[in-house]
Structure 1
Amino acid sequence: MPEPQICLLGSRVMTGADAEPRYLRFPPPGPRAAPRKGQETSLSRAPASASPRFRDGTGTGGERGSPAAEQLRVALVPSSVFGVEALLLTGSVAFEPDIFVVVLSLLLHGRPFLLQWDPMITTLPGLYLLSVGVVKPARWIFGWSEHVVCSIGMLRFVNLLFSVGNFYLLYLLFRKVQPRHKAGSSAQRILSTLTLAVFPTLYFFNFLYYTEAGSMFFTLFAYLMCLYGNHKTSALLGFCGFMFRQTNIVWAVFCAGNVIAQKLTEAWKTELQKKKEERLPPIKGPFSEFRKILQFLLVYSMSFKNLSMLLLLTWPYILLLFLFGAFVVVNGGIVVGDRSSHEVCLHFPQLFYFFSFTLFFSFPHLLSPSKVKAFLCLVWKRRIQFFVLTVVSVFLVWKFTYVHKYLLADNRHYTFYVWRRVIQRYEIVKYLLVPVYIFAGWSITDSLKSKSVFWNLMFFICLFAVIVPQKLLEFRYFILPYVIYRLNIPLPPISRLVCELGCYAVVNFITFYIFLNKTFQWPNSQDTQRFMW
């Protein structure tokens, strides 16, 4: 029997034939044998027959990895509504976990796996290490055999824990963020928690062995600890989130920004009350509010007392940021592998895509006749400002729209069809969508008006830092900022929540039905392909 060959790509596992250009080659689990002189034990060239692939196993014809590897990544979460867990457990949908079992087997046997790092891996090994941290103690405590510990169900159990943890964290965050003085707020918080727990993009990836569930868990946990004032714990959890995905460092910065925004808001209210009592003449003219806030920030930042107070509150996050800077310097960048496909760029239209994504999934709260009417009245009232904004937006779409090769190559993902059949259908379409982008952005900002201007500033800065440098349009990148946004808007009426939940249920049913039943094959492959987010 030939040696099993595997290649880990970020949070995904690919077969040897699915990766390019290098492999990790391991002997099967068993007694450790010393390598023969000249024997390759870590990296070896891919065989000539291997088909070329891009990141995540992407290949010619739009491949992102073999179906065996894709099926392998399905993780079990509570899903009795759709009966998906029955399909996974009974084997009604075929999965081939052998490759990932080999990886975990090597880790369980204490082999120096991390010393054999493949250059195509793009993320840090948080998910792998935590999987071993769950599976290996279970083997010690219960005396289970390796066959049981590395079974399909046990491996899927890791994301089951994350998904349950995310549900509880969402509930705790709604209790902390949203006021509790309203009569119906308790039911609204519970319904909001359930709605976000089945948010289609997040819910779908809970079934796959991706980093989404773990990344979401540690980021939400860090945010919760920040809100409770446990900043050292929050920074530590932020580091754990960073180990799942490097861009999560931005949400650790957001936690620090949340603390700063709170102190700035308190000082701002004091300043406004002081001016009111002194009856000082208000600043008038265009952008008067912006000028007042800017003047306040300059005065506030000149105070050593204010800066020292903020430093004492946020030093754990600052330390984490320094560690991240050291990592970037030592590593030579944020991505740990396949850097040619993950280059940083100023992809400003990513903001527009996120606004549209948020408008689509939060339409019960953001889209209504009254909202449209209010927007049109505001446009007419401030037509010069909106004209300038439209011109700038058109310019950003014209000069800063990037099309990643994976977006054009992967015909299994919905973004492929959104791009080809909507945005790229005609050249003028991407410009005609600018008014929709502006409305979506205004509606999102309007829904956050209950938050302070400083909180909004911190949120949009972090949103910019997370998605704008990304060249690839992928809905997974929008999950975390969407959830944080959704947590912080005022609790909607129960009728809107029921509508939102019902729409999410329908979308989930359709996507899972398509994923399980509408399979297809590429001409150059006998493998079964499936549609996904």
Structure 2
Amino acid sequence: MSPLYIILVVYIAISFPIFYIVFNASQLVIDEEFHLRQGRHYCLGNFHIWDEKITTLPGLYVLSAIFLLPFKQCSTFALRLTSLICSIINLCLIFEIRRSLQQKVNLIKIAMETLTLSLLPPAYLFAHLYYTDITSITMILGMFLFNIKQRHNISALFGFASVLMRQTNIVWVGMILGTTIMDKLISQTLPFIKKDSEKRPTNSYSYNFQDIFSVFCFYSKRVYLVPKQIRLLFVHLIGYILTIAAFIAFILVNGSIVVGDKSAHEAAIHLPQIFYYSIFFAIFAPSITFKYMAPTLRILRRYWIFWILTAILSLIVIYANTNVHPYLLADNRHYLFYIWNKFYGRYYWFKYAMVPLYLISMTVLYQCISIRSAGFQILYTLCTIVSIALQQLIEIRYFILPFMIARLFASSVKFRFLILELLTYLIINSITFYLFSTKEIYWKDYDFIQRLIW
């Protein structure tokens, strides 16, 4: 039996009992109030009704309508199944992406990685609720998979659908477009620049920053070649370009990236989010952290002057740009509420004391993506910063997609580290679902019991 089928059976066997536990514990979790109501409207074919409190485009509800409209099943249970079904699809997409990226294919190891990533705790909880997170991941994974397979029209279609799930996904469409352009230009141009290029690989994962500079210089001296290259790239990448053009048109018409209630989701420069994300990555990718910890410490010792200067800059950024959203201080239904109030908010020095851990975590993350092309490194870094550092509210959910992308494109790790990562996820998930089922939170303006989520 294929390893993919085995982990599918394991995942389904684990997930459906948990799905029932979550459903029995609570049939309405925080913002599900808006999503479920809107999902029912679309499920029943009432596409003209829209709730102004919703800030995302209607991709989730359209998908639910496609799944459920033929069956006329529009209950909370049925709508939440949208997320669970998509999480099963995600497992298959993760497996195919990892298999496509591995030079030496070990299906057992890939299956272990796939099962582990499918159980990523913050994402796995939302696989049992009716939020945009899981369906958003599905579309982004589909976009990356078909891009890797050079099937760009299908990839762009997934990219368009991802934006319908959540507008901020446009940055990952931009990443795909940018890396594909750089990959094609460099692979086509490098053989004309370097005499020894036949002796070295020129695929999309091998070129470095010097190669990018060489290609830039090549076209700067031969500007007459640029229009031809643009025409060739335009033909291949028209789907991505149309998606980005449609998004720009949406921004111009809507006046904002947010639909509905814009007041609670105003963009703001919040650079410490990069530090928080790096810690998230180091904690939830222990296989990568252990793999690169020794090299990271060597880099820090070797370039200690650079890291001291970086630490000083980090302290300045934390002092000048730490934003505390009112929701973070008031909403006790999220883990970050307790982390912030017990550490960051209680001790003024704590956020500064974390700087060494931030530097270590960021170095680990850099080494994780450094095996990929220079184009991937540049675009991933820029898109991650744009996707998280323009958000005033600290939300663990915002970290899931950049985490998944970096982890999927990482090099292979030792099997014992994978086992450690899987065990870590299982323990955290067990605690998460236990707290979800047993911890009862009461709000005066809500009749139903609130539950603790990421």
User: Per the shorter chain, which TM-score range?
Assistant: 0.7 to 0.9
Q: Give the structure 1 partner of residue 114 of structure 2.
A: 193
Rounded Cα–Cα distance in structure 2 between residues aligned with 1:194 and 1:338: 37
Instruction: Tell me how far apart the structure 1 counterparts of residues 34 and 283 of structure 2 sit (CA, whole Å).
Output: 38
**Structure 1 residues 420 and 153: CA distance shift in structure 2, 3 A:** closer
Once residues 501 and 432 of structure 1 are traced to their aligned partners in structure 2, the CA distance between those partners, rounded to angstroms, is 30
Specify which of 128, 147, 158 is matched with residue 61 of structure 2. Answer: 128
Counterpart Cα distance in 2 of 1:298 and 1:122: 44
Report the CA distance shift for 1:160/1:378 in structure 2 as closer, same or farther (over 3 A): closer
Q: Tell me, yes or no, if structure 1 residue 337 matches structure 2 residue 266.
A: no
In structure 2, relative to structure 1, the CA distance for the partners of 1:151 and 1:346 (3 Å cut) is: closer
Q: CA deviation at 1:422?
A: 2.4
Q: Is the 8 A contact 1:79 1:85 kept in 2?
A: no
CA distance in 1, matches of 2:21, 2:147: 39
Aligned residue in 2 for 1:228: 149
Does the C-alpha gap of structure 1 residues 232 and 211 become closer, same or farther in structure 2, counting only changes over 3 Å? same
1:328 CA drift (Å): 0.1
Alpha carbons 1:78, 1:85 under 8 Å: kept:
no
Q: 1:450·1:489 contact (CA, 8 Å) conserved in 2?
A: yes
How far the C-alpha of 1:83 sits from its partner, in A, is 3.4
Are 2:247 and 1:324 aligned? yes
1:74-473 to structure 2, matched below 5 A, reads 78=12, 80=14, 83-87=17-21, 91=24, 93=25, 95=27, 106-107=41-42, 110-111=45-46, 113-114=48-49, 117-139=50-72, 149-179=73-103, 181=104, 185-266=106-187, 270=191, 273-274=194-195, 293-294=212-213, 296-300=215-219, 302=223, 303-304=225-226, 305-367=228-290, 371-473=292-394
For 2:80, give the aligned amino acid.
R
More relative contact order in 1 or in 2 (CA 8 Å, sep 6+)?
Answer: 2
Paired with 2:194 and 2:128, the residues of 1 have a C-alpha distance of: 52
In the alignment, residue 218 of structure 1 is paired with which amino acid?
Answer: M
Displacement after TM superposition at 1:246 (Å): 0.3
Q: Would the alpha carbon gap of residues 515 and 82 (structure 1) be closer, same or farther in structure 2, given more than 3 Å must change?
A: farther
Distance across 1 between alignment mates of 2:55 and 2:397 = 15
Percent identical: 33
Whether the 8 Å contact between 1:82 and 1:509 is mirrored in structure 2 is no
Code of the residue aligned with 2:129 in structure 1: it is: L
Which deviates more from structure 2 when the two are superposed, residues 243-252 or residues 522-531? 522-531
In the alignment, structure 2 segments of 5+ residues that lack a partner are 1-10, 199-207
Task: State the Cα distance separating 1:160 from its structure 2 match.
Answer: 2.5
Once structures 1 and 2 are overlaid, which stretch shifts more, 391-400 or 320-329? Answer: 391-400
Structure (1/2) with the larger helix percentage: 2
Cα distance in structure 1, aligned partners of 2:341 and 2:33 = 36
Q: Is the 8 A contact 1:394 1:431 kept in 2?
A: yes
| Helix, strand or coil at the partner of 2:176 | helix
Give the structure 2 partner of residue 65 of structure 1.
Answer: none
Greater gyration radius:
1
Aligned-partner residue type, residue 346 of structure 1: I
SS at match of 2:139: helix
Q: Take 1:186 and 1:192, find their aligned partners in 2: how far apart are those partners?
A: 10
Q: How many residues align?
A: 428
Alpha-carbon displacement from aligned partner over 1:209-259 (angstroms, at most 9, x marks no partner): 001111111111111111111111211111111111001111111221231
CA distance in 1, matches of 2:66, 2:15: 30
Is the deviation greater in 170-179 or in 201-210?
170-179
Q: Which residue in the other structure is 1:509 paired with?
A: 430
Whether the aligned pair in 2 keeps the contact of 1:188 and 1:493 (CA below 8 Å) is no
Q: Distance in 2 between matches of 1:475 and 1:225?
A: 27
SS in 1 for 2:337: helix
Question: Counterparts of 1:436 and 1:104 in 2: how far apart (Å)?
Answer: 42
Q: Please tell me whether the aligned partners of residues 44 and 74 of structure 2 are also in contact (alpha carbons under 8 angstroms).
A: no
How far, CA to CA, are the matches of 2:326 and 2:66 in structure 1? 36
Give the whole-Å Cα distance in 1 for the aligned partners of 2:52 and 2:447: 28
Q: Give the direction of change, closer, same or farther, for the CA distance of 1:290–1:119 in structure 2 (3 Å limit).
A: same
Pair 1:95–1:275, CA change in 2 (3 A)? closer
Scaled by the length of structure 2, the TM-score of the pair is 0.86
Is the Cα contact below 8 Å between 2:258 and 2:265 reproduced in 1? Answer: yes
Deviations 1:166-204 (A, max 9, x none): 11111111111222x35xx21111111100110101101
Secondary structure of 2:441's counterpart equals coil
List structure 1 runs of 4+ shifted beyond 6 angstroms: 96-102, 289-292
1:78/1:160 contact within 8 Å kept = no
SS at the partner of 1:83? helix
Matches of 1:366 and 1:454, distance apart in 2: 23
Task: Give the AA of the match of 1:211.
Answer: T
Q: Supply the distance in 2 between the matched residues of 1:451 and 1:98 (Cα, whole angstroms).
A: 42
Name the residue aligned to 2:3: none
Q: CA deviation at 1:381?
A: 2.6
Aligned AA for 2:59? Answer: G
Distance 2:141 2:121 in 1: 18
Q: Is the 8 A contact 1:265 1:452 kept in 2?
A: no
Query: Structure 1 residue 101: deviation in Å?
Result: 7.4
CA deviation map 1:283-313 (0-9, x unaligned):
xxxxxx9677545434346441444433333
Deviations 1:320-357 (A, max 9, x none): 11110000000001001222221112111111111110
TM-score by length of 1: 0.74
Aligned amino acid, residue 136 of structure 1: L
5+ residue gaps, structure 1: 1-76, 140-148, 278-288
Q: Decide whether the 8 Å contact of 2:39 with 2:79 is kept in 1.
A: no
> For 1:429 and 1:99, how far apart are their aligned partners in 2?
36
**Contact kept in structure 2, 1:101 and 1:150, CA below 8 Å:** no
The 5-angstrom pairing of residues 37-52 of structure 1 reads none
